[in-house]
Amino acid sequence: MSATDQARSETIEALLTEERRFPPPPEFAANANVGPQVYPEADRDFEAFWAARARELEWEKAFTRVLEWQEPFARWFADGRLNITVNCLDRHVRSGKGSRVAYYFEGEPGDRRIVTYADLLRDVCQFANALRSLGIKAGDRVAIYMPMIPELPVAMLACERIGAAHSVIFGGFSPDAIVDRVTDAGCVLIITADFGWRRGKQVPLKDNCDAAMRHTPNVRHCIVFRRTGHEVSMHEGRDLWWHDVIRDQPDSCEPAALEAEQLLFILYTSGTTAKPKGIKHTTAGYLTGVATTHKYVFDVKDDDVYWCTADIGWVTGHSYIVYGPLCNGTTGILYEGTPDFPERDRFWAIAERYKVSILYTAPTAIRTFMKWGPEFPARHDLSSLRLLGTVGEPINPEAWMWYRDVIGGGRCPIVDTWWQTETGMIMITPLPGVTTTLPGSATQPFPGIYPDVVDERGASVPPGGGGYIVIRKPWPAMLRGIWGDDERYVQTYWSKFPHMYLAGDGCRRDDDGNYWFMGRIDDVMNVSGHRISTTEVESALVDHQAVAEAAVVGRTDAMTGQAISAFVLLKGAELGSEALAEELRAHVGTKLGRFTAPKYITFTNELPKTRSGKIMRRLLRDISEGRALGDTTTLADSSVVAELQTRAKAEAQKEE
Ligand code: WTA
């Protein structure tokens, strides 16, 4: 066993001996949207289970076929036709719920707007008509690069209204990252805003698009929403103001009756190579999956105020701010900015103001709140909360308990939800009225989901053991592949073990069948819940003129889960200075986005390599964690590591 595995297994031992158990409060269980019978119901016939959920949607043409499975390509409800916006908007308005609030919007500077379902429907129709008038048609791909304002879901839904697919690009990405994504997906239009607000500063979204559009000849237009009103340059003929394109557009728009398997969106995520993967999701199965999980996992009721604090630029926002909640007619919160603006109690001020009852956030945020201290939540009345959720990375039991006690007042169940961009929907999670929770465990598979933990040979590991998490049966919201690259789809997810979807996470199951996630087992880091590929950061570093070679690993970080640690070899004989390290961070920032800049940079004259020349990341991980080295027998030159250890240690001390 390597030192890494040793350390991991010790943490897992600690987790497995976790003795605290929290059964659902009886009153919660009595009123929950779903009870324990849902598990055997799904197990009797999982296709019938999902079909029954899909029939709760409104179909333009009912489906007769449920699952067509040509491994690894799934088609769900394929002969049906429907439109997502009808399910998310029209049917609520039609049934008299038009005045229900869809989003309480709060901008970072403090501006507020209430957006009802009727408002949203009108805005989506108008904007859909505008898109049509610009020549956007079914099957086209549209890039969206916007702040967290109501126009972002409006833009997404408007695409769906007419059958175009969106590719939302997180507002923290740099122009180069926009170019890669827009080019790969063949987008013909970019929708953006002049600026967005972030921690009191204006993020130049339009400028970033301008820089990107120099390299994206296929983009015909750029629609710009005026958010802050500061000046931006508008390219005659190409750039159009949002308010101009919707002017004179009718506020109704016939929804396209789309095939169940119509492409809904592409969302890029990091893999183990430098090229991000465009994960494809389609219409009916995805909506069935996210609406069902949203209803059961968050137990949403008509009078709840639900707040998922994610950014819509990531999958959590797609599934659990936009599609799941709107399909269920939920009242939600949309907040534009950071939790510490203007003060560190902003989240709690919002929760109090709107009487938030369900809060879904990330472990990294919870750990940050813990560090800031209980006085910030204590300033506000949080008694409206009744359910808490987390997503994005494993949550340490200490943070789980703090969340429960300090934020939830000891009375709210916590749902720790495991899933991925690829799975589209929550896969492993407690059901809050059913499952007994344990701090640090995502507990049980959602009904109708069939995961397993297997060893290196693909054999199921008995209770108490750990290995690779895999999924054994198709599920409705599963990815339909990687945009333009079926081969990579098969290679990445379906090749290691036959007939199993490989998620890329390590996991253990305890004697009661509870799942304990252990982080990624591939070269993907998880920094503040953002998936970042080591290779992507390495190529951004090597792109700098001074750098000859770079190796990047994730290092455990108390706040962000993992922090990026880079080992850098320069072209000359010199080692780099602190100034150069700063320059490299800025360089990675402009290549990829500021959130991917390495926290630690260790300059070196040599990297530890095997005799065949492969960089030994495992050793770099050990070095960067400051622990005993694992097996070094395959190392070409063993003197390299001692020196690196000393340097990395000095680097870490500087940071602390
Ligand atoms: C990690 C985010 C442990 C995991 C929805 C997964 C988690 C990756 C959890 C997907 C959790 C997400 N417990 N680990 N509750 N939730 N992860 O695609 O490593 O941005 O593979 O989707 O986040 O990240 P993605």
**Which residues does residue 453 pair with via DSSP β-bridges, in sequence order?**
469
Spatial strand order in the sheet of 221-225: 239-241, 221-225, 189-193, 141-145, 165-168, 263-269, 277-282
**Which residues does residue 116 pair with via DSSP β-bridges, in sequence order?**
101
Peptide bond into 72 cis (omega under 30): yes
Q: Give the atom of ligand 1 at the shortest distance from the alpha carbon of 504.
A: 21
**Which residues does residue 251 pair with via DSSP β-bridges, in sequence order?**
none
Average pLDDT of every residue of the chain: 94
- All structural domains of the chain, each given as residue ranges with its CATH number in brackets, are 32-338+418-434+463-505 (3.40.50.12780), 523-655 (3.30.300.30)
Verify whether ligand 1 is closer than 6 Å to residue 315 (CB atom).
yes
Verify whether ligand 1 is closer than 6 Å to residue 403 (CB atom).
no
- How far does Cα 12 stand from its chain's mean position? 25
By most ligand atoms within 8 Å of CB, the mutation choice from 12, 311, 453, 505 for ligand 1 is: 505
Verify whether ligand 1 is closer than 6 Å to residue 170 (CB atom).
no
User: What single-letter amino acid sits at 35?
Assistant: G
By most ligand atoms within 8 Å of CB, the mutation choice from 393, 501, 516 for ligand 1 is: 393
Least confident of 36-45, 210-219, 350-359, 632-641: 632-641
Determine the Cα–Cα distance for residues 608 and 1; give it in Å rounded to an integer: 20
Q: Which residue in the block uniquely carries the two structure tokens 């494993």?
A: 394
pLDDT at 434 > cutoff 80: yes
The torsion of the CA quartet 391, 394, 400, 403, rounded to 10 degrees, works out to -30
Query: What tokens does 81 get?
Result: 């036709």
pLDDT at 656 > cutoff 80: no
Helix, strand, coil % over all residues of the chain, rounded to 5: 35, 25, 40
Report which of residues 133 and 275 the model is more confident about. 133
pLDDT at 24 > cutoff 70: yes
By most ligand atoms within 8 Å of CB, the mutation choice from 517, 524, 527 for ligand 1 is: 517
Verify whether ligand 1 is closer than 6 Å to residue 421 (CB atom).
yes
How confident is the model at residue 220, as a pLDDT? 98
309 to each of 104, 367, 585, how far by Cα in Å? 13, 15, 27
Mean of the pLDDT values across residues 368-396? 96
Q: Give the atom of ligand 1 at the shortest distance from the alpha carbon of 316.
A: 5
Q: Give the atom of ligand 1 at the shortest distance from the alpha carbon of 503.
A: 21
Phi first, then psi: what are they for 440, rounded to 5°? 105, -5
How confident is the model at residue 1, as a pLDDT? 41
Verify whether ligand 1 is closer than 6 Å to residue 361 (CB atom).
no
* CA 342 to centroid of ligand 1, rounded, Å: 29
Element (H, E) at 524: strand 524-527
* CA 214 to centroid of ligand 1, rounded, Å: 34
Verify whether ligand 1 is closer than 6 Å to residue 314 (CB atom).
yes
* CA 487 to centroid of ligand 1, rounded, Å: 24
Phi first, then psi: what are they for 439, rounded to 5°? -60, 120
Position 450 confidence tier, pLDDT thresholds 50, 70, 90: very high
Q: Give the atom of ligand 1 at the shortest distance from the alpha carbon of 524.
A: 19
* CA 299 to centroid of ligand 1, rounded, Å: 21
Percent of the chain with pLDDT over 90: 83
Determine the Cα–Cα distance for residues 447 and 426; give it in Å rounded to an integer: 11
Verify whether ligand 1 is closer than 6 Å to residue 603 (CB atom).
no
Phi first, then psi: what are they for 512, rounded to 5°? -90, 5
Percent of the chain with pLDDT over 70: 97
Q: Give the atom of ligand 1 at the shortest distance from the alpha carbon of 519.
A: 19
Query: What tokens does 112 get?
Result: 């507020």
Contacts of 491 by beta carbon, 8 Å cutoff, 6+ apart: none
- Is 0.85 topped by the overall pTM? yes
* CA 426 to centroid of ligand 1, rounded, Å: 10
pLDDT at 427 > cutoff 60: yes
Residues 625, 556 contacting (CB under 8 angstroms): yes
Residues 552, 565 contacting (CB under 8 angstroms): yes
The C-alpha angle with vertex 582 and arms to 644 and 579, in degrees rounded to 5, equals 85
Q: If you take atom 10 of ligand 1, which residue's CA is the nearest one?
A: 420
Least confident of 208-212, 271-275, 352-356, 652-656: 652-656
- How far does Cα 181 stand from its chain's mean position? 16
Verify whether ligand 1 is closer than 6 Å to residue 316 (CB atom).
yes
pLDDT at 4 > cutoff 50: no
pLDDT at 2 > cutoff 50: no
How confident is the model at residue 354, as a pLDDT? 98
Q: Which residue in the block uniquely carries the two structure tokens 């997906």?
A: 185
* CA 111 to centroid of ligand 1, rounded, Å: 32
Q: Dump pLDDT digits (tens) for 299-326.
A: 999 999 999 999 999 999 999 999 999 9
Residues 397, 18 contacting (CB under 8 angstroms): yes
* CA 217 to centroid of ligand 1, rounded, Å: 35
Q: If you take atom 3 of ligand 1, which residue's CA is the nearest one?
A: 394
* CA 520 to centroid of ligand 1, rounded, Å: 9
Q: If you take atom 8 of ligand 1, which residue's CA is the nearest one?
A: 420
Q: Quickly count helices (H) and strands (E) in the chain.
A: 23, 29
Verify whether ligand 1 is closer than 6 Å to residue 391 (CB atom).
yes
Residues 503, 452 contacting (CB under 8 angstroms): no
* CA 194 to centroid of ligand 1, rounded, Å: 32
Q: If you take atom 15 of ligand 1, which residue's CA is the nearest one?
A: 418
Mean of the pLDDT values across residues 385-403? 95
Radius of gyration of the chain (CA): 24
Verify whether ligand 1 is closer than 6 Å to residue 531 (CB atom).
yes
Q: Dump pLDDT digits (tens) for 56-97.
A: 999 999 999 999 999 999 999 999 999 999 999 999 999 999
User: What single-letter amino acid sits at 104?
Assistant: Y
Q: If you take atom 11 of ligand 1, which residue's CA is the nearest one?
A: 418
pLDDT at 28 > cutoff 50: yes
Verify whether ligand 1 is closer than 6 Å to residue 420 (CB atom).
yes
- 367 three-state secondary structure: helix
16 to each of 10, 511, 561, how far by Cα in Å? 10, 9, 20
Determine the Cα–Cα distance for residues 54 and 47; give it in Å rounded to an integer: 10
Least confident of 185-189, 413-417, 621-625: 621-625
* CA 421 to centroid of ligand 1, rounded, Å: 8
Verify whether ligand 1 is closer than 6 Å to residue 563 (CB atom).
no
Verify whether ligand 1 is closer than 6 Å to residue 311 (CB atom).
no
* CA 363 to centroid of ligand 1, rounded, Å: 11
How confident is the model at residue 273, as a pLDDT? 78
How confident is the model at residue 648, as a pLDDT? 85
Position 6 confidence tier, pLDDT thresholds 50, 70, 90: low
Q: Give the atom of ligand 1 at the shortest distance from the alpha carbon of 520.
A: 19
How confident is the model at residue 280, as a pLDDT? 98
Q: What are the start-end ranges of the E strands in 12-148?
A: 67-70, 73-76, 81-82, 101-106, 112-116, 141-145
Q: Which residue in the block uniquely carries the two structure tokens 């009345």?
A: 381
Query: What tokens does 25 get?
Result: 């409060």
How confident is the model at residue 61, as a pLDDT? 98
Determine the Cα–Cα distance for residues 351 and 371; give it in Å rounded to an integer: 20
pLDDT at 8 > cutoff 60: no
Q: Dump pLDDT digits (tens) for 515-545.
A: 999 888 888 899 998 989 898 899 899 999 9
Contacts of 114 by beta carbon, 8 Å cutoff, 6+ apart: 101, 103, 104, 105
Q: If you take atom 13 of ligand 1, which residue's CA is the nearest one?
A: 394
CA nearest 198: which of 347, 335, 373, 351?
A: 335
